[in-house]
Homo-oligomer: A and B are copies of this chain.
Amino acid sequence: MKEKEFITDIKNILNSKYIGDDCAYLQDLGIVITQDSLVEDVHFSRKFITPYQLGFKSVMVNISDVCASGAKPAYLTISLSLPDDITENFIREFYKGAKAAAEDVEIVGGDITGADKIYISVAAVGSTTGRRISSRANAKIGQKVIVSGNHGSSCAGLKELFTGKKESKFITTHLQPTAQRNFAQKIAANIKEDYAMMDTSDGLMDALSAIASESNVLLSIDFDKIPYDKDLEKFVNWQDLIFYGGEDYQLVATVPDTDIYGTVIGEVKAGNGVEIHYTDKTVLYTKSDVEKKLFKHFKEKE
């Protein structure tokens, strides 16, 4: 898949101001909207994930996108395309998981069709009433970089699944992630200035790099301040899991001193890219460094 090139093509054809953030902010309607798909044997394998977890995760990744925008998740639609061997029990478990992840967000429609593999596409709508909406282009010099939760756990869980392990805290994080509703709500309902926010679906470094690039700033990050589960250190290249692992569905935001609701990991400065301060060295990652590294990481995953 040449996804990055395709997206550039699509942006050129559509010439839309909306394409860029995880959600599109439709000001005239007072809503945000997002849509994300999960494809069997691309994003998940029936070997590893239960139907309940699949329903749960499909909904949660979209709720996470709405949270990243600052809007209040309100409604969902789910399109399911399913092979002939899918049973009614699969459907029941899938929707139980979907409903559990949705909590007070109502599932209001969608469709169901045949296919040769499982395809799931979820659209989510959030209400912007009483919330300030984020943009990855909004980071301003002097703002603090804050994050929710632990980073790297989901990818550690994926690695454990590949080794044949069935259950662990990391595996639960991978198969049944939690969107950071409270973190998002506290910022979006209280903050008095524009801010950037993204989820870490494609990894912490991807989010930091996208905010730096779209906002034309340098994000200066202290590695020691990034929260992670200490058991992560047992994994080979564990620092890569933190930066490039993805699917943690934590949030990263740039906010003023008055709105610190998570862990401060750094600061927005003049410059370009992402600078990581380790105890013994400082490494600057440009946008193209990150893209190469992400690409390499994905190649290794396959």
Cβ contact of A112, chosen from B6, B74, B91, B114, cutoff 8 A: B6
Is A125's CB under 8 angstroms from B18's CB? no
Is B88's CB under 8 angstroms from A35's CB? no
- What B residues does A236 contact at CB under 8 A? none
Is A36's CB under 8 angstroms from B91's CB? no
Is A119's CB under 8 angstroms from B115's CB? yes
A165 at the A/B interface (Cβ < 8 Å)? Answer: no
Q: How far is the CA of A111 from the CA of B116 in the complex (A)?
A: 21
Q: Can you list, as one digit per residue, whether each of A105-121 has a CB less than 8 Å from chain B (1) or not (0)?
A: 01111111111110101
Find the B residue at minimum CB distance from A38.
B113
Q: How many copies does the complex hold?
A: 2
A43 at the A/B interface (Cβ < 8 Å)? Answer: yes
A2 at the A/B interface (Cβ < 8 Å)? Answer: yes
A37 at the A/B interface (Cβ < 8 Å)? Answer: yes
| Interface set of A (CB-CB < 8 Å, partner B) | 1-3, 5-7, 9-10, 13-14, 16, 18-19, 23-24, 26, 28-31, 33-37, 39, 41-43, 74-75, 77-79, 81-82, 84, 88, 91-92, 95-96, 99, 106-117, 119, 121, 123, 125, 127
Besides A24-B108, A31-B31, 4 other A-B contacts (C-beta < 8 A)? A6-B82, A10-B112, A19-B109, A33-B109
